[in-house]
Amino acid sequence: MTPADLAAMCALAGLDIVALTDHNTCGNCAAFCRAAQARGLLALAGMELCTQEDIHVVCLFPDPETAGRFEAEAVAPRLSPIPNDPEIFGRQILMDQEDGVLGEDPRLLAMGAQIALEEVPGLVRAYGGAAFPAHIDRPSFSLLGVLGLWDPGLDFPVAELSRACPPDFARRPDLAGLRFVTDSDAHYLDQVWDAQYTMDLPERTARAVLDWLGAR
């Protein structure tokens, strides 16, 4: 899952809109976006933020620079001071768009940041982005897995369902009126899907994607 390899696999899969959302970091987003754009893809920078409740939220931004500021200003100060243990969690390598190694992130990115779930929508919007709870149908690291019920007061207009979500799950009464997205959530190259879903956008831009995800 290096930036150039991932971008190439996305292109081979026939995808058009792609995003990189590593846990609690945007460190490889600039490299991935450059590699993806070189292959004709519309690429968004983002992260899968892990909140203090251990709930995963996909956060997407208009460009890598804005995503980097979000990480540096809003997330990094509230990460655990415990360093990463590569023997347990693996190396956290930073690369360029041609997969050249630039360095390594020493922070422990696998743990939740001290950011409450209710803070996330407004925090991400302040950086021009859009956020939605990830894989809400899963029993762990999901909004429903942790809270039990959907709370409309949390101000998320969209939620993500995993590919293996049961067909009747979205008909839960507490999810009425909510819009859903499904994406690959790929952690390995062979998990990158062929193109299966579409978005009705006025133009092919990151801003249009973010507006669609944040629309009421």
Binned average pLDDT, 10 residues per bin, the chain of 216 residues: 96 96 98 98 98 98 98 97 94 96 96 97 96 97 96 94 93 94 93 91 97 83
Measure CA 49 to chain center: 7
Rounded distance between C-alpha atoms, residue 44 and residue 161, angstroms: 20
**Model pLDDT, residue 40:** 97
Is the separation of the CB atoms in 128 and 62 below 8 Å?
A: yes
Gap between the Cα atoms of 161 and 133, Å rounded = 9
- pTM here is 0.95
Structure tokens at 40: 């004709």
Which residues lie closer than 8 Å to 193 by C-beta, 6 or more apart? Answer: 13, 163, 184, 186
* Cα–Cα nearest to 201, from 212, 214, 193: 212
The amino acid that residue 192 corresponds to is: V
CA–CA separation, 210 and 205 (whole Å): 9
- What local confidence, expressed as pLDDT, does residue 216 receive? 52
Instruction: Check: CB of residue 135 under 8 Å from CB of residue 160.
Output: yes
Cα distance between residue 193 and residue 213, in whole Å: 20
- How far apart are the C-alpha atoms of 106 and 64, rounded to whole Å? 21
Q: Which domains are delineated in the chain?
A: 3-214 (3.20.20)
